[in-house]
Amino acid sequence: MTLPWRNGLELENMKISEVAAIVGCTPRAIRHYHQIGVLEEPPRLSNGYRNYRITDIAAIVRIRALIAAGIPIESASQTIDLHAALQSLDNRIQSLERQRAQLLRYLTEGFGIPEPIATKLRSTVPTAEFEMWELMAFSGITTEKTWQVVEQNLNNPHLVANTLRFYALWSDLSDSDFDEAALLIDDSIMKDIWQTFREGDLSFPPGALSLSPPQEQFLTSMAAIMINRLGSS
């Protein structure tokens, strides 16, 4: 940054274009700083031009240094709390690291249900169940191991037949069907699936799944059984 000294050791009566050239930005950027309130307007000369001085240059250099350090431009004011700004930046870094880890997982494990598993699964389970599988895939609960087991199970005619039988029961489930339905789940394409899931949170508000009372009761009891199994494994 080269300073064109005037009047001995004082810089004054500078135009916005001259200040922009000194600090290495554009006049438009300086006007934007004024507009959003992070840079005070300097006094104007009789001809209407802004009268920039050395203090304005220092303020602009400070603003640009903070922006370069990752501070949002709207926060680059004289009263900024640097400790709070650092914490905010740390939080953003952590968020970006989580996003990066998720993208890396998509690269290694695929995004959504991988093919040809998706085609086979769609032809085996009801649409709502397939969409539930997609939701689990997109939420990151499923793992590469999950899809290996699902593919293996889909290639087993016995497990597929039991799956179809389960959904036939499920559509009109009654209390008397609970024992058979539980046995079918354990010997369906869901076999050995639960322990492959990654820990996560995929909860639904009451009524979101439009379940009948027997279906809701059955799922509640099965969830308790699965939690107990995973806890003891």
pLDDT, residue 163, reads: 95
Q: In the chain, how many domains are there? A: 2
In this structure, are 180 and 117 located in the same domain? yes
Which among 86, 94, 102, 186 is positioned nearest to 140, based on CA atoms? Answer: 102
- Kindly state whether residue 165 falls inside one of the protein's structural domains: yes
Residue with tokens 């930005």: 25
Same domain, yes or no: 75 and 184: no
Whole-number pLDDT of residue 1: 54
Report whether 63 contacts 69 (CB < 8 A): no
Shared domain check, 39 and 134: no
Quick check: 29 and 38 in contact, CB under 8 A? no
**Percent of residues in the chain assigned helix, strand, coil, to nearest 5:** 60, 5, 35
Q: Among the three residues 62, 82, 102, which one is the final residue of a domain in this structure? A: 82
Indicate whether 163 and 76 sit together in one domain.
no
68 lies in some domain: yes
Q: Examine residue 200 and state whether it is found in any structural domain, yes or no.
A: yes
Shared domain for 194 and 155, answered yes or no, is yes
Check whether residue 72 and residue 150 sit in a common domain.
Answer: no
Distance CA 71, CA 88 (A): 9
pLDDT by residue (tens digit) across 80-137? Answer: 777 887 888 788 889 888 888 878 877 776 678 888 999 999 999 999 889 889 888 8
78 domain-assigned:
yes
Query: How high is the pLDDT of residue 218?
Result: 84
Residues 156 and 214 in one domain: yes
Confidence class for position 70, pLDDT limits 50, 70, 90: confident
Residues 183 and 72 both lie in one domain: no
What is the domain-level CATH number for residue 73? 1.10.1660.10
Q: Are residues 225 and 135 in the same domain?
A: yes
Tokens at 206, concatenated: 């009451």
Helices (H) and strands (E) in the chain, counts: 10, 0
* Residues 120 and 192 both lie in one domain: yes
Q: Tell me what pLDDT residue 229 has.
A: 64
With respect to residue 88, please indicate whether it lies within any of the assigned structural domains.
no
Domain annotation covers residue 224? yes
Say how far apart CA 233 and CA 227 lie, in whole Å. 10
Tell me which of 82, 104, 127 is where a domain ends. 82
**Together in a domain, 217 and 128:** yes
Range of the domain at 54: 16-82
Residue 24 lies in a domain: yes
10-17: average pLDDT: 76
Q: For residue 5, is it within any domain? A: no
Is pTM beyond 0.75 here? Answer: no
Whole-number mean pLDDT of the chain? 83
Q: What are the φ and ψ backbone dihedral angles of 227, each rounded to 5 degrees? A: -60, -40
- 119 and 195, same domain (yes or no): yes
